Structure 1
Amino acid sequence: MNSGIGLVFPGQGSQSVGMGKALCEAHPILKEVYAEASSVLGYDSAALCFEGPAERLNLTENTQPALLVSSIAALKTLDSAGLNPIAVAGHSLGEYSALVAAGGLSFQDAVGLVQKRGRYMSEAVAPGTGQVAALLGLTPDVVREVCCEASSVGVVAAANFNSPGQVVIAGEKAAVERAIELAKGKGCKKAIPLPVSVPVHTPLMQTAADRLAKDLAAVQWSDLKMPLINNADAKAISRAADIPPSLVRQLPSSVLWEDSVHAMAKMGVTTFVEVGPGTVLTGLIKRIVPEAKLLNVNDPKSLDATLQALSATHSA
């Protein structure tokens, strides 16, 4: 049964100290997931996720593996449900969790890749030179226009098309500030600076993408058990050969999250399960496809509720 289920995995910004701890305490088998990650990373992954400190957890090259590990541990708790998802997707970094879930690459390889990805992203721009902000209340076309106009003072681009009326822009500080000014003149309801120092999903990430391409070429990829709706094109991919180029394009390109969710709905996904820390994606999906059923797994309580809802669907 389980038809109509899609799994989605969170990206950077969903991390918090203590994430995954209650799940791991309730399901001690999950310790193996953290131990496997620690052997790749060279430090205690569980200690960083469960105890912090926040300053260390929030460093991009630590955040990315921490979120991947927490998401895959959460996914493991769903093993008993015998899920058969129609499709998977992940927001930016979450795309790697989704690929592990779909059988595209091994967990160990994914941990190593996202650690490098985080490091390359941090090194692509000098600290303190980038800025990221969410613009509320504008259409995608108006945001693109604003970025185009503001690019006379530096690099700025639409980084994430998250949900109707929420687009994240990123780039060089002066250009982002100019874009915010222009956006307000075009009816932007609110501009919220985000606590992300790396202007990801803009052309400033091309050097990071070029470095990552070599690492992606060095790991073993497999065809996916279910299609992944990718960030760069919001298209379904399932062939091993299509995955690395899509991940290389992902870094300097916008995350087409709104389009990706619509694509999943068109494929027949009626129940979205957010697997991993936080409920950011659940909130976005609620605005994109209001009629969808939304579940999440990030602690024992949400896991129980999700298993219950899935078994009810199963027996219906």
Structure 2
Amino acid sequence: MKLAFLYAGQGSQHAGMGRDLYEDFPAFRAVLEQAAAAVDFDIQEVMFTDAAGVLNETQYTQPCMTAFACGVTAVLRQAGIVPDYAAGLSLGEYSALACAGVFDVQTAVSLTAFRGKAMAAAATGRPCGMTAVLGLDAPTLQACCDAAADAGVVQICNYNCPGQLVIGGDTAAVDKAAAAALTAGAKRCLPLKVSGAFHTALMHPAGDALREKFASVSFSQMQMPVLFNCLGHEKNENDSIAALLEKQVQSGVQWESTLRRLAELGVDTAIEIGPGKVLTGFVKKTVGSAISCYPVETSAQLQQLLRIRKGA
């Protein structure tokens, strides 16, 4: 058996996430205490109650999701469950790199807090957004984006799974491309509740900020292969992780290719780490039964997984 850890991206966060894990698992609790020292807000309050209603703001979402992911990883590692490969959707890539030993908890959390602020700043003052397009292939959707380019920037920014793509950019251009997609046969076009056009050229300022930030960050050697969003596979020996992360924030996420590559590598089991089970759905739609995926969000799910693995 070959195992992969898959880390969820932004969008599935919710108030209360991690509270039961914090109460039931000392290893999770220890990680959150480390994460708290890396941010300038009360991370437990935002995750568990979110009284101020800020969890969905990207500068809060990103470090909270990373802390959650690193906490679950620590519990699994303590139980002797270590993956052969790791990958993360967008934001989740930082948790995958932490799993692989590239970052410690505090570095991963502080970097994603910085990334969230940089992405929010890049979107400020420019009407922009993202729309999920269902039931259309990439070449046809690309033609729709090309036809809408006179209205502004619009790009395919997420290749999630067959039949589910996401476009992003200037609002007028995204709306024009979505209308063209419906005419071309798309089943639905769903505007996403996000604060920017992530993974598009509009995030170039965030990429610049990350490049400057990474100059002062220590990147440790990977202890296991990570599949990168902007590649859809493992990096080459000469690829710089910092450069790949800089590119990631402003280019399309190749998640479908990532999942197909994991299947090629012989991965037959995956654990989705993060709130929700979006990635589990992408796995089923992309590689079918070739990879069995187990979502882990709650204490009950984690305890059940540990029992299953202990009996294996």
For these two proteins, the number of residue pairs brought into alignment is 311
Aligned match of 1:298: 297
> What whole-Å deviation, never above 9, does each CA across 1:8-33 have from its counterpart, x for those lacking one?
10111011000011111111442221
Partner SS state of residue 199, structure 1:
coil
TM-score by length of 2: 0.96
Aligned match of 2:110: 112
What's the C-alpha RMSD, in Å, of the aligned pairs? 1.6
Q: How does 1:1-316 map to 2 (within 5 A)?
A: 3-53=1-51, 55-127=53-125, 129-237=127-235, 242-291=240-289, 292-312=291-311, 314=312
Unaligned runs of 5+ in 1: none
Residues 159 and 241 (structure 1), Cα distance of their counterparts in 2 relative to 1, 3 Å cut = closer
- Partners of 2:82 and 2:119 lie apart in 1 by 34
Residues 299 and 160 (structure 1), Cα distance of their counterparts in 2 relative to 1, 3 Å cut = same
Residues 250 and 232 (structure 1), Cα distance of their counterparts in 2 relative to 1, 3 Å cut = same
- 1:119 CA drift (Å): 0.7
> What whole-Å deviation, never above 9, does each CA across 1:69-91 have from its counterpart, x for those lacking one?
01111112212431232210000
8 A Cα contact 1:10 1:93, kept in partner: yes
8 A Cα contact 1:16 1:54, kept in partner: no
- 1:284 CA drift (Å): 1.0
Residues 62 and 239 (structure 1), Cα distance of their counterparts in 2 relative to 1, 3 Å cut = farther
8 A Cα contact 1:132 1:194, kept in partner: yes
> What whole-Å deviation, never above 9, does each CA across 1:198-235 have from its counterpart, x for those lacking one?
10000001111011111112111111111000000112
- Partners of 1:121 and 1:240 lie apart in 2 by 27
- 1:105 CA drift (Å): 1.4
- Partners of 2:300 and 2:150 lie apart in 1 by 50
- 1:54 CA drift (Å): 6.8
Calculate percent identity across the aligned residue pairs. 36
8 A Cα contact 1:224 1:238, kept in partner: no
TM-score by length of 1: 0.94
Which range moves more in the overlay, 243-252 or 127-136?
127-136
Runs of 4+ in 1 over 4 A off after TM superposition: 238-241
Partner SS state of residue 54, structure 2:
helix
Which range moves more in the overlay, 251-260 or 295-304?
295-304
- Partners of 2:306 and 2:118 lie apart in 1 by 38
- Partners of 1:15 and 1:58 lie apart in 2 by 7
- Partners of 1:203 and 1:150 lie apart in 2 by 15
Letter paired with 2:148: A
- Partners of 2:141 and 2:205 lie apart in 1 by 25
- Partners of 2:271 and 2:43 lie apart in 1 by 25
- Partners of 1:167 and 1:53 lie apart in 2 by 33
Partner SS state of residue 310, structure 2:
helix
8 A Cα contact 2:86 2:96, kept in partner: yes
> What whole-Å deviation, never above 9, does each CA across 1:127-171 have from its counterpart, x for those lacking one?
561111100000011111111111111001101000110001111
